[in-house]
Structure 1
Amino acid sequence: MTNPKHFNAIYILPNLFTAASIFTGVVSIVAAIHGHYEKAAWLIFLSLLFDGLDGRVARLTHATSRFGVEFDSLADIVAFGVAPAVLLYFFVGEAYGRFGVLVMALFVIFGAIRLARFNVMSPNTDPTVFIGVPIPTAAIFVAVWVLMFRRYEALEPLSWVLLVVTLGLSFLMVSNIRYPSFKKFHLEKARLTKVLVAAILLASLLYLYPVEGFAAMITLYILWGVARAVYTMATRRKRLGSRRK
């Protein structure tokens, strides 16, 4: 028989990582309010680490539960919805009045819709793809580009661009554009060495240029989904046009 106390301890463990994700998200919000933008951005990265650990720990300890799933979604609202929205607002949005408030609000609202839709659709969707930009990806995009603007003073006059792009990103979260999920993917043995070499080179790039590397990766990931959707739509229209002829 299973010891109830042992079971409860295992059950609580992954939820502690979820709680840690919420905590770092709240600390990020406080840091952003006080103008510590770089600290706030890095804390969002830390929330992402805790968010990744909770699910893995739950699967390894066989402690997955419906409560854990719901708790994780609520944590994501704080860490990847409210925290980056507050960071964006105090970094650039406050200077643009109601428009800044609108962008901040839509980011949180559409992020919540994205999470709700994911929870409803996940049992029936392909695990190798995401439908719409995942909210953690959107949060990291905001955080890393705040770091970029802080690092390179020449970008400061263009800070309004970050506000506009984030507005577009909010709509991408609730779009039907498909993005690859790296949680489950099949890798052929013949390509294992090439993937390993590529991963080492990527890790080396991130070691040398962590902020620039993450900014490039996350931006290319988002643009790839948009470009793929445009290409698919254009191809489909071309086929329909040829059939009508």
Structure 2
Amino acid sequence: MNVKRHIPNLLTLGNLFSGTVASIFAVQGDYILAAFLVSLGIFFDFFDGFAARLLNVSGELGKQLDSLADMVTSGVVPGIIMYKLLIEANIVNFSIPTYVPFLGLLLTLGACYRLANFNIDTRQSDSFIGLPTPAMSLFIVSLPLIQEYSKITVAKALIENTYFLLGTTLALTYVMNAEIILFSLKFKEYSIKNNVVKYVFLILSVVMIVSLHYLSIPLIIVVYLVLSLMNNKTIRK
């Protein structure tokens, strides 16, 4: 039996296991453990592809398995968390009908559509079209952590605002499936001239992480989108 061809799939299953357990903690309202397990799942998600390329064992099974695992970690879990946040916002504000929190599950539907489309889209080898689901998931799982630990009251107030949460849900669902080219952080070579956008993004990310902690996560994703749009405009010119 060729053991090495199973290593990437075992890492993918680690992603699935992390996401499954994260969904349990998300339902229970333990957002810290849910966020940790989602991050762990995304770590596995990154290294399963890396291992497949390193061991030269890429295949159709791994591709399909990867999307199924991502559907849980970066699809189901953020949908549950947004659902819970909308319920909590409604308790505070009493401003929405009781069925509205289910709109948070649009994130899950949007992630499912993106992942299915990604598997048949041959254009996304060197860049992404639409926001990758792990980025969306990190954005969402960071919100309750910001609410709990951030000292910036404006940020905490926004996360308790029903309309901000609904707007975020709709925006992320759209951006995941929009025909927007987003740069990949894969480096073919390391010259500054050909990778200036990537280096700027990495430097800004480090600065924000050091200074803003949890609040940096959604801001980094917003910066990623803005830099990608600016980069696209530059390339077209």
TM-score by length of structure 2 reads 0.80
User: What is the alpha-carbon root mean square deviation over aligned residues?
Assistant: 3.2
Provide the aligned length of Structure 1 versus Structure 2: 224
Give, as a single letter, the amino acid of the residue that structure 2 aligns with 1:63: V
Aligned to 1:243: none
Within-5 A mapping of 1:200-239: 202-203=205-206, 206=209, 209-225=212-228
Which of 36, 42, 56 is the aligned partner of 1:42?
A: 36
Once the two structures are overlaid, the 10-residue window that deviates more, 218-227 or 32-41, is 218-227
Aligned to 1:143: 141
Task: Say if 1:82 and 1:108, in contact at 8 Å, map to a contact too.
Answer: yes
Within-5 A mapping of 1:73-92: 73-92=67-86
- Report the CA distance shift for 1:15/1:169 in structure 2 as closer, same or farther (over 3 A): same
- Report the CA distance shift for 1:121/1:143 in structure 2 as closer, same or farther (over 3 A): same
- Report the CA distance shift for 1:191/1:173 in structure 2 as closer, same or farther (over 3 A): closer
- Superimposed CA distance per residue, residues 160-185 of structure 1 (whole angstroms, 9 cap, x where no aligned partner): 21332122110111111111111245
Q: How far off its partner does 1:68 sit?
A: 0.5
- Report the CA distance shift for 1:225/1:190 in structure 2 as closer, same or farther (over 3 A): closer
- State the secondary structure of the residue aligned to 1:182: coil
Q: How far off its partner does 1:19 sit?
A: 0.7
- Report the CA distance shift for 1:198/1:179 in structure 2 as closer, same or farther (over 3 A): closer
Distance 1:220 1:181 in 2: 14
Give, as a single letter, the amino acid of the residue that structure 1 aligns with 2:83: Y
Give, as a single letter, the amino acid of the residue that structure 1 aligns with 2:111: G
Q: How far off its partner does 1:59 sit?
A: 1.2
Once the two structures are overlaid, the 10-residue window that deviates more, 167-176 or 34-43, is 34-43
Distance 1:74 1:198 in 2: 29
Task: Say if 1:28 and 1:43, in contact at 8 Å, map to a contact too.
Answer: yes
TM-score by length of structure 1 reads 0.78
- Superimposed CA distance per residue, residues 49-75 of structure 1 (whole angstroms, 9 cap, x where no aligned partner): 010011111111122111010000100
Distance 1:43 1:69 in 2: 22
Structure with the larger helix share: 1
Gap runs ≥5 in structure 2 = 91-95
Task: Say if 1:127 and 1:184, in contact at 8 Å, map to a contact too.
Answer: no
CA radius of gyration, larger in: 1
Aligned to 2:158: 158
Which of 6, 9, 14 is the aligned partner of 2:8?
A: 14
- Report the CA distance shift for 1:209/1:157 in structure 2 as closer, same or farther (over 3 A): closer
Give, as a single letter, the amino acid of the residue that structure 1 aligns with 2:113: I
Aligned to 2:100: 99
Give, as a single letter, the amino acid of the residue that structure 2 aligns with 1:118: F
Distance 2:26 2:169 in 1: 17
**Are 1:59 and 2:67 counterparts?**
no
Distance 2:199 2:70 in 1: 31
Distance 1:226 1:170 in 2: 18
